Structure 1
Amino acid sequence: MTDAPEPNPSPPTPSGAPPVRRMDARSLRGLAHPLRMRILDLLTLDGADTATGLGRRLGENTGTVSWHLRHLADHGFIEEETGRGTRRERWWRAVRVSRRLDTNDFRDDPDIRGALSVYLHETVHRDFDQVTTYLAEEWGAEWRDAGTLSRWQDLRLTPDQLAALNAELEEVVVRHREAAQGGAAPDAEEARPVLVQLQSFPRRERDER
């Protein structure tokens, strides 16, 4: 399971891709909280903000948001944007990284199952909310035609084939991301932020349930 890379002004790696952070038990516990995950997502998608600004957007008390911001910083998910703000009003940004979580790492650890469950459920709810928001918004015809909600249900794959499918799809997304970051497109000024959500998983057949 891979999260989208988190943009900020940090220097890119030679390949242009963000560094990869494999989630361990400590980092998973540090992030697996509904409000912390929402805070990190806002900083990831929209850039740096303050506790006051985030509290206003989330409908939360500024003191509560500040506490969660410090918690995220302690676990290396966000960092202070130096040279901006005041001693009373600090600006925070998401650390530029691609997070990878392998649920197999925690299969035999009952102490982390609760945090893992929170993380996975909040991730699914976040993706669902983003899709429903998109559907409720008004977009021009060119953007309505470009977006898609697709589902293919007629595949029968082995685990290796499913893994290969996911790897190939990720390569396609990475290729387009790198091309966009390179500014190669002649109509780059018309570009908007785009979310790509991929969900692929096996399902049990009727006689297996």
Structure 2
Amino acid sequence: MPDDLGHSLPKRTLRDPRELRAMAHPVRIRIMDELFIAGSLTASQLSDRIGESPANCSWHLRQLAKYGYVEEAGGGTGRQRPWRPVIESRSWGERSEGELAAAGAAMADLMYRHEFAEHEEYRRREDSEPQDWYDAAYWSQSFAWLTAAELTELKEAIVDLVLRYAERFTDPATRPTDARAVRLVSWGFPARPWSEDRK
């Protein structure tokens, strides 16, 4: 299951269903997007960006903080306090059952739907992008015959490539002047059940 930033960052494996349910909310996913893009924001600034009331943003921020997804960035009071994302690798990839499995499935479903919606939104506006960004954006689909070890190696290589730029989340000074927030989604999974591959 998802490992959202990689393995050279602090790692946290989510084993409490409450931790997963705390993030499995559309408003909270949007709040996290905005915090990753901006670095830090207040509830009032988030309100302007996502179209929710400052009070609602403040409540969701407190819930995210309770489970370690965000933290206060320092300075300000009340709804003018800035918040920032906690930068760590989170996973819930161990097989589970019961409440944890249900919470993990709900979280994964929400994240998949969110990323697909963001991709569809980009496709609607892609013709308005500057030519260099239009050319740089990509979508790739392929098949490969791999062992489980090779798929793990490929996954880790992709994560390592992305992690070259991880410091840009926390230090805006490291971002080139022409850098933009870019969504990166990748997956690799068996194309068919094990029994069908043997045919």
- Global fold match (TM > 0.5): yes
Contact 2:19 2:67 in 1 (8 A): yes
Contact 1:29 1:112 in 2 (8 A): no
Aligned to 1:4: 5
Number of corresponding residues: 185
Aligned to 1:123: 111
**Structure with the higher fraction of residues in strand conformation:** 1
Superposition RMSD on alpha carbons, in Å?
Answer: 2.7
What is the CA-CA distance between 1:119 and the residue it aligns to? 0.7
Aligned to 1:164: 153
For 1:148-204, what per-residue CA distance to the aligned partner results, in whole angstroms no more than 9, with x for missing partners?
111013x22232222222122222333x427989xxxxx943333332211211122
Residue of structure 2 aligned with 1:37, choices 29, 35, 40: 29
Q: 1:142 to 1:31 in 2, by over 3 A?
A: same
Q: Distance in 1 between matches of 2:77 and 2:106?
A: 34
Contact 2:39 2:84 in 1 (8 A): yes
Q: Distance in 2 between matches of 1:56 and 1:189?
A: 24
Q: Which amino acid aligns with 1:150?
A: S
For 1:131-153, what per-residue CA distance to the aligned partner results, in whole angstroms no more than 9, with x for missing partners?
22322332111111112111013
What is the CA-CA distance between 1:38 and the residue it aligns to? 2.2
Aligned to 1:82: 74
Q: Percent identity?
A: 32
Q: Secondary structure at the match of 2:49?
A: helix
List gaps (5 residues or longer) in structure 1: 6-16, 182-186
Contact 2:71 2:85 in 1 (8 A): yes
Aligned to 1:96: 87
Aligned to 2:172: none
Q: Output aligned runs, 1:24-63, within 5 Å.
A: 24-25=15-16, 26-63=18-55
Q: Which amino acid aligns with 2:43?
A: A
For 1:79-130, what per-residue CA distance to the aligned partner results, in whole angstroms no more than 9, with x for missing partners?
11212x23452221111222233142xx23x012332122101111221122
Query: What TM-score does the superposition give when structure 2 sets the normalisation length?
Result: 0.78
Q: 1:40 to 1:193 in 2, by over 3 A?
A: closer
